[in-house]
Amino acid sequence: MRDLVLKLFFILFLLFTLSVSSAKKSFKPKQPCKDLVLYYHDTLFNGTDVANATSAAATDPTKLGNFKFGMLVVFDDPMTKDNHLLSRPVARAQGFYFYDKKSTYTAWFAFTLIFNSTKHKGTLNIMGADLMTEETRDFSVVGGTGDFFMARGIATIHTDTFQGDYYFRLKMDIKLYECY
């Protein structure tokens, strides 16, 4: 009888340690299942460059602070594999951003990357806060369709260049952690 109780305790102890170690495993940082590096080019309409502009301010900035608070920009911007504006786009970024802080430049982005090439067909939906003073910022990839069915991940963005008020380029490192 005592033997049996000891054995039972031993088995329970084993089961306990096993379940603890397997619970630990699930906290290991995951490797991305897909990594895409793309450049986003935003050419803001200046009133005359209709042929070249791909975004436009849909609202004027308010008078709250000096950092364009409240200005909403709608865009249909090309996404390229290298940082040349005139390279063949591999996707379009369609969505908007608006300036949302009165004491510095920050914006909030929500957009869809639309892929329509022989390599990729589908969409990635991305949103997040752009704290422009930070070297890099993270947007959330909240979903996807087509080749990116149910995708989730993080898009790390970095301002690659900023040329006056009318052109800027972001490098986006899009890492997906859920792929199907």
Ligand X SMILES: *[C@@H]1O[C@H](CO)[C@@H](O)[C@H](O)[C@H]1NC(C)=O
Select from 52, 62, 83, 133 the one that contacts ligand X (CB under 6 A).
Answer: 52
* All residues at 6 or more sequence positions from 152 whose CB lies less than 8 Å from its CB, including other chains: 140, 141, 142, 143, 144, 176, 177, 178
Beta carbons within 10 angstroms of residue 55's beta carbon: 21
Q: Minimum distance from CB of 56 to ligand X (Å)?
A: 12
For ligand X, the closer of residues 5 and 86 by Cβ is 86
- State the number of binding residues for ligand X (CB under 6 A): 7
Q: Is 19 in the site for ligand X (CB under 6 A)?
A: no
Q: Which of residues 101-130 bind ligand X (CB under 6 A)?
A: 116
8 Å CB contact between 141 and 153? yes
161 contacts ligand X (rule: CB under 6 A): no
One residue of 20, 21, 51, 63 binding ligand X per CB under 6 A: 51
Rounded CA-CA distance 61/46 in Å is 15
Closest of 73, 84, 78 to residue 130, by C-alpha: 73
Shortest CB 59 distance to ligand X, Å: 19
Q: Does 136 bind ligand X (CB under 6 A)?
A: no
| CA–CA gap between residue 127 and residue 48 (Å, rounded) | 30
- Pick from 1, 2, 4, 47: which binds ligand X (CB under 6 A)? 47
On whether the CB atoms of residues 168 and 130 are closer than 8 A, the answer is no
User: Binder to ligand X among 48, 103, 118, 163 (CB under 6 A)?
Assistant: 48
State the SS3 of 68-88: CCCCEEEEEEEEECCCCCCCC
**Which is closer to ligand X, CB of 46 or CB of 159?**
46
> Nearer to ligand X by C-beta: 20 or 51?
51
- Alpha helices (H) in the chain, listed in sequence order: 2-25
Considering the complex, state which of residue 41 and residue 175 has its C-beta at the smaller distance from ligand X.
Answer: 41
| Residues contributing to the site for ligand X (CB under 6 A) | 46-49, 51-52, 116
